[in-house]
Amino acid sequence: MKILFCSTHPLHTADYVAEFQAALPHAELVPWHAGLPAQDAELAIVFQPPDALYAREPQLRALFNLGAGVDALLRNPALPPSVALYRIEDAGMSAQIAEYVVHAVAGIVRQFGRYAGQQTQGRWQQLTARDRRAFPVGVLGLGAIGRRIAAVLAQLDYDVAGWSRSGQPVDGVQVFAGSDGLPAFLARSRILVNILPLTEETSGILRAQTMGQLLAPAHVVNVGRGEHLVEEDLLALLDAGQVESAVLDVFRTEPLPPDHPFWHHPRVTVTPHVAAQTGRRETVAQIARKIEDWLAGRPVSGQVSRERGY
């Protein structure tokens, strides 16, 4: 069986193809490019594939995405409705994002930013310690990564709650569910960590109406998608004092434009979409297992629901 590898992202295509070929020795891995004739392949491993892939390979039955986020794929009208879509579920990302969030939360509570400012001034001054009980954390989104974040923070004795559409329980974490549970979740949270998938329902969820319900002064950590955040609302809340700081790893426009106000705002920390970087070894192993299950007719984990959007 031929399996296409198709990516418009500047990945190391040859390395990926070689590793997938080694993991799937009974298949033929074919790197797709604009000049490649039709291959009549049923499966493709993709990352930001061009529309030409669907036009040239109309017999495709399943796509295996190299990342966890599938919103761009689902928004593309060129993606045939008959093609099944599978996403990466972790591949080492949950540990990385949990690490990123712990760094952000600890920086807020332990005031590491203020100490860094003091260092530039050569000033030795111990600040009054903050009681972490005064900084309850709310994790918005309780998929595999959100649950990992919530569990790690709880193990560090932070007061952690989580919110999801379904309200699936998480050990040691207070869980709120659905639109009815969102106001109470926000009202008890001072540090809000967003790790939701991007859907029509969650786009713009970090807006004045929601962030304004947080315990003030609040702090926002966004490791979900840039489209979750209404950037103008965050800037207004920062100016008003409702939000004290923000740690942002994702943005509506990436790379973040050089003239964007986030770059120079004294209470905004910008990182260039690095909260988690997919490990090639883990990704290849996970997708290879999914493909083997698909070929054997077994259930395949990580199938995307087009109705839910993830």
Reported confidence tier of residue 11, pLDDT bands at 50, 70, 90: low
Q: How far apart are CA 22 and CA 4, in angstroms?
A: 15
Told to judge if 9 belongs to the known catalytic residues of this protein, a careful annotator would answer no
Reported confidence tier of residue 91, pLDDT bands at 50, 70, 90: confident
Three-state SS string across 177-208, please? EHHHHHHHHHHCCCEEEECCCCCCCCCCCECH
Give yes or no for a contact between 48 and 70, defined as CB atoms under 8 angstroms apart. Answer: no
User: CB within 8 A of 215, min separation 6: which ones?
Assistant: 136, 187, 188, 189, 190
pLDDT of residue 10: 65
pLDDT digits (tens, 9 = 90+) for 118-137: 999 999 999 999 999 999 99
CA atoms within 13 A on the CB side of 172: 15
- Determine what percent of the chain is predicted with pLDDT higher than 70: 99
Q: Over the Cα atoms of the chain, what is R_g? A: 21
Average pLDDT for 4-21:
89
Q: How far apart are CA 150 and CA 137, in angstroms?
A: 9
For the chain, the residue count is 310
Q: Is the pLDDT of residue 47 over 70?
A: yes
Average pLDDT for 190-208:
97
Average pLDDT for 184-193:
98
Q: Is the pLDDT of residue 9 over 80?
A: no
pLDDT digits (tens, 9 = 90+) for 168-177: 999 889 999 9
Mean of the per-residue pLDDT values of the chain: 95
Q: Is the pLDDT of residue 277 over 90?
A: no
Q: Is the pLDDT of residue 242 over 90?
A: yes
Reported confidence tier of residue 279, pLDDT bands at 50, 70, 90: confident
pLDDT of residue 225: 97
Task: Kindly state the tokens that stand for 275.
Answer: 């909260």
Which has more confidence, 246 or 277? 246
Catalytic residue of the set 225, 252, 260, 298: 225
Pairing relationship of beta strands 268-270 and 191-194 according to DSSP bridges:
unpaired
Told to judge if 12 belongs to the known catalytic residues of this protein, a careful annotator would answer no
Catalytic residue of the set 260, 265, 273, 280: 273
Q: How far apart are CA 185 and CA 162, in angstroms?
A: 7
- Determine what percent of the chain is predicted with pLDDT higher than 90: 91
Check: pTM over 0.95? Answer yes or no: no
Task: Kindly state the tokens that stand for 264.
Answer: 């120079």
Q: How far apart are CA 45 and CA 263, in angstroms?
A: 35
C-alpha distances (whole Å) from 92 to each of 96, 144, 271, 275 are 7, 11, 19, 12
